[in-house]
Amino acid sequence: MADRYELRLPALEVRQGDKKIYCFAVDGKKIHSFAAVSRVRRDDTSSLQGYQRPEVLSHIRGIRRYLESDGAMLPNALVLAFDENVRFESTTRSNVGYSVPGELIIPVDESLPDTEKPALIVDGQQRSAAIRDADLAEFPVAAVGFIADNQEDQRSQFILVNSTKPLPKGLIHELLPETSGHLPPAYVRKRLPAQLMTRLNTDGNGPFFGRIDSPTSPDGNIKDTSILRMLEHSLFEGALYQYRNPEDGTGDVDRMLLHLRSFWTIVKETYSDAWKLPPRQSRLTHGVGIQALGFVMDTLTDDMPAEKVDCDEVRNAILGLMPITAWTSGMWRFADGEQRRWNGLQNTPNDVRLLTNLLVRAVRN
């Protein structure tokens, strides 16, 4: 029978404004008995679950070899997010108001699946995995914990804790729409575009369904950064601006999505063969094509209500680009006499500007 018990650890409650964190030490071999790694994934309804990147096995092996050597030391604290089942009891009074000594009480039930454990590892998943696998009887580590209100709060803390590290951008983009609390300004600006991108990628009826490369859509082949740039420009300076509240950054997401789906469905239907191909075989699904056509969308549909985007005017304009496009073969011919092979355009600011000028000039004429 699996063990059930309470792990009582000497701890220090530190008050930071209206927040409380708990500093303590724990045998690293016991961490996985009460803490899990919340892997980022999507459930059957496309709802985001978890927030962690996959384990990097080579990194874990390297840490494990170090831990098994003489004189090993891990001075950096692990960060854990606890649920409401974890509690703190003070043991003595403190002369320092913001710091109270006591015990952190963690319920342990070794029969629980990871999804029901009372703690999640916010930072230190690879270190904890290395300790778990190391040939050691015990290895105490420093840890810092906080009691989270919900998983959105855990995701927010995960991004903030890792904001000075090279977190994969794709993971940040996937997490941003479902975070709460304070975030750096650069992330706040990307939250709404990331929300739109996620909805486009998980909408079974839309042209981008499953096509955008992300941690939960690894088979996608359209770069998420290209989609985000297209969405950001439209939200702040283009056709989607009409649905956005510039004061708080929110907006009418459903009408934005209708606008986007309508326009890009026309693109998909007009250039169906090129749309099916991955970016290396089609400049339509390449970053340069996605961004340039985003500018075309802004030009054609600026101030046009979402309900009217799917119209003959827009369809005829997109069809009218066919003689000058070379998505999968042929040559691009520009106004100054410059020519490029179909795959000679790259996802660079200069090439995006070059293709945008060609396409926008054509739809305006």
Does the CA dihedral 260-261-264-266 come out positive or negative? negative
Strand partners, 23: 12, 144
Is 198 found in the same domain as 160? no
pLDDT at 359: 97
The CA distance from 271 to 356, in Å, is 17
195 in a structural domain: yes
**Average pLDDT rounded to a whole number, residues 99-114:** 91
The CA distance from 9 to 242, in Å, is 54
pLDDT at 51: 41
Q: Which of 59-68, 157-166, 204-213, 325-334 has the lowest mean pLDDT?
A: 157-166
pLDDT at 41: 46
Is 346 found in the same domain as 197? yes
**Average pLDDT rounded to a whole number, residues 165-194:** 62
Is 190 found in the same domain as 145? no
Residue 301 CB contacts under 8 Å (≥ 6 apart), including other chains: 239, 259, 263, 309, 314
Is 259 found in the same domain as 209? yes
pLDDT at residue 173 greater than cutoff 60:
no
Q: Which of 42-56, 70-84, 93-107, 202-216 has the lowest mean pLDDT?
A: 42-56
> How many structural domains does the chain have?
2
pLDDT at residue 176 greater than cutoff 70:
no
Q: Which of 66-80, 204-218, 351-365 has the lowest mean pLDDT?
A: 204-218
Query: pTM here?
Result: 0.56
Judge residue 302's burial from the number of C-beta atoms within 10 Å of its C-beta, 0-12 exposed, 13-18 middle, 19 or more buried. Answer: middle
What does the pLDDT look like over 282-311, one tens digit per residue? Answer: 999 999 999 999 999 999 999 899 999 999
Of 132, 165, 198, the residue that ends a domain is 165
pLDDT tier for residue 247 given thresholds of 50, 70 and 90: confident
Of 134, 165, 196, the residue that ends a domain is 165
Q: Tokens representing 89?
A: 């009891």
pLDDT tier for residue 114 given thresholds of 50, 70 and 90: confident
Helical residues (DSSP H) of 203-286, grouped into ranges: 224-237, 253-270, 272-276
Is 141 found in the same domain as 66? yes
Nearest CA to 206 out of 215, 197, 194 is that of 197
pLDDT at residue 137 greater than cutoff 90:
yes
133 in a structural domain: yes
pLDDT tier for residue 278 given thresholds of 50, 70 and 90: very high
Q: 3-state DSSP call for residue 13? A: strand
284 in a structural domain: yes
Range of the domain at 262: 184-364
What does the pLDDT look like over 347-361, one tens digit per residue? Answer: 999 999 999 999 999
pLDDT at 52: 46
Is 296 found in the same domain as 156? no
